[in-house]
Structure 1
């Protein structure tokens, strides 16, 4: 016997991605009280800059624990999201956020060159996140300026 699953719509995939983002704003807890990890397939992959590629739920949990330990609070700006649908399992969300990192606060646009703008590329099938690659500047508090000549005098 084979396992059959129904095709998800773009809006259904978007709802899974939104649940994931809202769980971050809620300390890793979904709207149903479950762990954010319950949104992932067992063999999911997650990429985060300066951490690398996490393979499987256990490593994804370690990645989220490592990164999450540096973030005191985060809030995504849902009304400003841009969504791109591929007609397949891939959904892209571009957005902004603000919050507090252990090194200081951040807000997208303050300053314009700093953290707070991000883009996530999701692959969602069977109501589970199979893959999410997170693209952002992990220097949330904008302290890494000396290595970039165009930022060195902006501080």
Structure 2
């Protein structure tokens, strides 16, 4: 039983490390991020729906890159929760849009996110990203309706 617990703890540690590598690769627009994923990876991003497979992931990355110039995750401050084959990561990010607008503004946009990774062994098989894709609070109708000073 001790061996099984040690193996599970070791795998959990590896999976946390893999999620951190994922964020490093995303921050560097490194296409080898796909090496961390299974061929049939399922991916969800708000306003983009659910996509399946590495090819669809690549298409999403191309679309994302058309309006996002840079992104940087605060990797040292990420919070990880491991449960079975899942690693939930909560953290913050900042970046710049292609028009030069930087985010978050610290008032409305906070740059907070939560990602849910599912693993099979050491490969990411499912990734659901929970973030407000309106990084710069351009949706002023909703901002005015929901943000009270």
Structure 1 and Structure 2 fold alike (TM over 0.5):
yes
Q: CA deviation at 1:115?
A: 4.7
Retained in 2: the 8 A contact 1:115–1:141? no
From 68, 85, 108, the counterpart of 1:89: 85
Give matches, 1:1-150, under 5 Å.
9-29=11-31, 35-86=32-83, 88-103=84-99, 104-107=101-104, 110-148=105-143, 149-150=145-146
Moved over 4 A (4+): none
Q: TM-score of the superposition, structure 2-length normalised?
A: 0.85
Distance 1:63 1:79 in 2: 26
Question: Alignment length, in residue pairs?
Answer: 140
Structure 2: stretches of 5+ with no match in the other structure: 1-6
Retained in 2: the 8 A contact 1:45–1:56? yes
Structure 1: stretches of 5+ with no match in the other structure: 1-5, 30-34
Distance 2:102 2:21 in 1: 24
Structure 1 SS opposite 2:94: strand
Retained in 1: the 8 A contact 2:23–2:75? no
After the TM superposition, which of the residue ranges 120-129 and 130-139 deviates more from structure 2?
120-129
Q: CA deviation at 1:53?
A: 0.6
